[in-house]
Amino acid sequence: MMKIVFRCSHCETINEIPSEFQYRLCKRCSTLITYDLGESILCEDKNDDGCLEFMQSNTLSAELAEKFFLLADKHTEQISLIIERHENLSSSFLDMPAASLPDTILLLLRKNSTETFDELVRHCKFFDINLKKMEQIIKRMKNEGMVYHPKGWLIRLI
């Protein structure tokens, strides 16, 4: 399975995600993040191109940062194609009653058939819920014990 290894833009922790997903919660700070060009590398498996070394470090030392960004520069075209493929995915429109933002997200989670952040983000865009607000609501729901994320790119109701 192809993996993307990237830095959290908030706390700089190294994260990974299968290439078929775009969004995840950072394993350290729980910020909703995605990978960007120049900040991500593509790995066939965890041992590819030293991915295991990056993942074990959690954050990049100066030496590892140099290696990481050299690889990131080489992988920009591949990452760009993956990002473009994600942006072209569509989602079905859900007919839902008017509700507060937390209630809307709760309803979306109940209808989230794949339990992925990607699907939740696509649905939130239909309801003009921006990523920052969605992230705040998800963090609150997580703290209140309403949701959990078994993997960084999955979210489930408890």
Look at residues 25, 53, 87 and tell me which one is the last residue of a structural domain: 87
Name the residue among 4, 1, 10 with its Cα closest to residue 35.
4
78 in the same domain as 18:
yes
pLDDT at 92: 62
69 in the same domain as 27:
yes
Query: Has residue 1 got a pLDDT over 70?
Result: yes
| pTM, to two decimals | 0.78
112 in the same domain as 76:
no
- Segment 80-109, tens digit of pLDDT: 999 888 888 766 666 666 678 899 899 889
Residue 93 lies in a domain: no
Residue 94 lies in a domain: no
79 in the same domain as 35:
yes
* Backbone region of residue 52 per phi and psi (left: phi > 0; alpha: psi in -120 to 50; beta: other values): alpha
14 in the same domain as 64:
yes
Phi, psi of 46 (to 5 degrees): -65, -25
Q: Which range marks the domain in which residue 128 is found?
A: 101-157
